[in-house]
Amino acid sequence: MAESDGKGTLGAEFFTPGSSSFTNFLAAHRPELLSLGRLLPEGVHAGEDQVPHGTTILALTYRDGVMIAGDRRATMGNLIAQRDLEKVHPADDYSAVAFAGSVGFAIDLVKLYQVELTHFEKVEGVPMTIKAKATRLATMVRQNLPQAMQGMAVVPLLVGYDQQAPEGRHGRIFSFDVTGGPYEKQGYHAEGSGSPFARGALKKLYRPGMDRRQAALAALQALYDAADDDSATGGPDVSRAIFPIVSVITEDGFERLDEAETEALSIEMVEQRRSRPDGPTAHV
């Protein structure tokens, strides 16, 4: 990244004391590598039918930690731009981030955020707390505000396992608005175009202390309900073997449920829907 003396020696900027933020380092020395904060030409506005958008993502706490999931569809207006988009990614060993919004900028944001957390840990010698991770992500989202105002918003969802939290409260969920405002959510949350339907499903299905299987089924049911009422959200595609991504963060760290487990749970759910198309009812 930096200029060298032709002998493979790093530039002086690598040895100058400064911030533990990799984003700030890039902004100071190679700002052209940052996609955040760049404006489109004056008068240009990106319409929904011109840029791929990712849609519904959700998270919920459960007995062992926190779960995060997302559908696989990306749309451009009324067109399906991609059927197997991955919207859920590990941020570091004990946190994960998912995104809704403009796909290209979202992927850049996720990659930069992953480097940001790694860079901080290498410089400071300790990982960030989950609250600090949320604050740092909020700053990065805020830097994208000029693009968001031109139609290319990115709305992430951050989850993490807080090893310092009291028993039963290790799983934490943070949402963000396009201005970078961070908000901690209790129990569950959803973002994206199908989020009102996903949150409605989680409201009736969520119970504190669910085990991993129960939480995964609740997440899949919520995504199915979102796809049932929101054309931009993709449901389980059995014929193409494309199923939602479901990941968990526990005291053992980040884990993505393997394809076989997600497929089996999705097919079980679809079979249940044959006799009850609107899904399971709330527990009373």
Q: What is the Cα–Cα distance from 59 to 80, expressed in whole angstroms?
A: 24
Q: Which helix (H) or strand (E) holds 138?
A: helix 130-143
Pairing mode of beta strands 88-92, 245-250: unpaired
| Active-site entry in 55, 56, 75, 250 | 55
How buried is 78 (Cβ within 10 angstroms: 0-12 exposed, 13-18 middle, 19+ buried)?
Answer: exposed
Residue 55 annotated among the catalytic residues of the structure: yes
Q: Is residue 147 within 8 Å of residue 37, measured between CB atoms? A: yes
Query: Within a 10 A sphere around the Cβ of 205, how many other Cβ atoms?
Result: 23
| Widest pairwise Cα distance in the chain | 71
Half-sphere exposure of 85 (CA within 13 A, CB side): 30
Sheet holding 245-250, edge to edge: 188-191, 57-62, 65-70, 245-250, 253-256
Q: Rounded to a whole number, what is the distance in angstroms from the first to the last CA of the chain?
A: 59
Q: What are phi and psi of 74, to 5 degrees?
A: -125, 140
Active site residues: 55
